Structures are given as C-alpha cells and as structure tokens.
Amino acid sequence: MRFVEKFLLVSVFAAFLAACSASGGEQTFEPIIPDENEHPVNSSGSIAPQSSGGAAEDTSWASLMDWAEIPAASLTRGTAIYSISSFEITTTEVTRGVYAKVMGNVPQQANDGEDFPVENLNWYQAVLFCNAYSKLLGRDTAYIYTSVGDESYLKDLVINYSVKGAIRLPTESEWEVAARGGTTSKYYWGSEEARKYAYYGQSKGPVAVGQYLPNEYGLYDMAGNVAEWLNDWYGSYENKDIVDPTGADTGTNRVVRGGGWADKATALASSERDKKAPLYKGHTLGFRIARSTK
C-alpha cells in the first residue's frame, strides 16, 4: 500500500474514533424486528391494518386455511323457503395454530396440538379473529363496533353482510346448507356409519381436524369434534320466504351447530340447533369461518 493511501486510511479511522468519543463512548445498534402478531386497535374499535413496510411477508395469509365454494341452495322451514346465495366456507374448523398466527395467543386449551380446533373462546373472540384475519388479507371488516370491553365484549356491534370477501362467521342457514352437502337426509352421511364421519360421544377432548371423512362438499367435522359458533341470534324461524336470512334481530343467545366431541349422535343431525350466551366459553365449542362471494 502506498504512503498516501495509508495516511488517508489512518486519518479516516482516527476521525471515527473521535466521533465515538464525542458521543459518550461505544454505541451499539440493534435491528428493530416488528412483531407480526401485533394488531393495533384503531379509534373505532376495529383491528387496524398492518403495514408491510415495503418488505415481503414470510407468510402467505391467504393460504392459512383451505376454502370450499358452496353453491346457491335453499332450505325449507315449515312452509317457507329460505334461499341462500353461493358463498365460501373453510373446509375445517379454525385450528389453534391458525388462531395463534393471526391473534398472537391462544386461550387455555383442553390439550396440545396446533392442528386441533381452537376452543374455549367466546363468540366475541371468534368475531375479533374474523376482523383481524380480514385486515391481514387487506380486506374491509364485516364487524363494526365502538369499543372492546371485558371478556372481549364488543359494544354497539353491527354486522355488515354486504362486504364481499370479508371474513365472518357463517349464518345459520349457510352453515346448514354447507353441512348437508346437497343431501336431505337427517345426517349428511345418510345411512352410513356415523363414526366414519364424526368424532362424538368422547370424554378426552377434541382431536386434530380432518381426521374423519368429509361431506360431499369436502368439509370436515361439520358434525362432532367441536360444535361451532354461528352469526345468528337464536330465535324462532320466520314463516315466510327469505333470501339470505341472517336470523333474529336481537336475542340473548347465539346459535351453535354441529355437536361436539362429548355429545350424543342426536346432536349431529344437520338440522339440530343449540344456543349459548355469546360470553360462554367451553372446551366443546369452536368455530369455522365464511365469506360472501357476491
């Protein structure tokens, strides 16, 4: 190395040491790593969208769950015809792994396993998951509220069904159309053995999703494993023809469908209804999600 080059190099190094001394000594710089599970709440109480910061995500949010398209269909309620537009629903119940990925934590569970359905969460917690996942997908939310209270209670909650592609809980009629898989029999497996299709009558908690045969739409665990929260308030069916019904306007309980791992076979019937207060939590109750396509 020539003398001039050595002199310049030494000068630059000396200037650097002087700058460090002037600032009070040695400085250490650590990268700031964003928490991908953090979901800030905006002033309206909804989950705020996350910024990508210009960096590519290491997770494809859209591929977290598999979806099935359910064709338009109708249900007969007494003398009334309920017409249901086509929609999409997940092929399995929301798992603990997916819930943790979206929300950053999981409620206390009956046993371990990321592929097990998430359970022991109330209706509002399922709703907050839907809003959070909608935002991660870059979509508007179906649930609007003013604030979040104790036990995730959502004040002044309104459900906007017109938002295409927004993640939400299925309506009761959507769920039944999906569960039946085009059948009209009491159980969607007809006269076949129930235990090939459903996990029920047990005492040790749920099992991993997708372990039993699916229905004709490719949906798993529409009966058994965990029962599922639905959007509707529990109430009497309206005795008139309706397009895309959303249930009672008000109520004290939300509809629960599908039967759980501790239930008897009668709870697995495609038309069987149950109800729970929206703040109820139990290890036999979880949820799956849906979205409108029109």
Q: Dump pLDDT digits (tens) for 216-235.
A: 999 999 999 999 999 999 99
Is 64-292 CATH 3.40.50.2300?
Answer: no
Q: What is the mean pLDDT of residues 178-191?
A: 97
Q: How far is CA 53 from CA 56, 58, 133, 135, 139, in A?
A: 9, 13, 18, 15, 18
pLDDT of residue 18: 42
What are the structure tokens assigned to 202, written together?
């047990």
pLDDT band at residue 23 under the 50/70/90 scheme: very low
Q: What is the CA radius of gyration of the chain?
A: 25
What are the structure tokens assigned to 115, written together?
């592929």
| Percent above pLDDT 90 for the chain | 78
Please name the residue that has the structure tokens 């969607």. 188
Q: Dump pLDDT digits (tens) for 27-54.
A: 332 332 233 333 333 333 333 333 333 3
CA distance linking residue 261 with residue 199, whole number of Å: 6
| SS3 (DSSP) at 145 | coil
Residue 160 near residue 173 (C-beta atoms within 8 A): no
| Global confidence as pTM | 0.81
| Percent above pLDDT 70 for the chain | 80
Average pLDDT score over the chain: 85
Q: Dump pLDDT digits (tens) for 240-293.
A: 999 999 999 999 999 999 999 999 999 999 999 999 999 999 999 999 999 999
Contacts of 5 (CB under 8 A, 6+ apart): none
**For residue 22, is pLDDT > 50?**
no
**For residue 62, is pLDDT > 80?**
yes
Q: Dump pLDDT digits (tens) for 271-280.
A: 999 999 999 9
pLDDT of residue 173: 98
CA distance linking residue 181 with residue 176, whole number of Å: 9
Burial-class residue 38 by CB neighbours within 10 Å (0-12, 13-18, 19+).
exposed
Please name the residue that has the structure tokens 């008139």. 240
Q: Dump pLDDT digits (tens) for 145-176.
A: 999 999 999 999 999 999 999 999 999 999 99
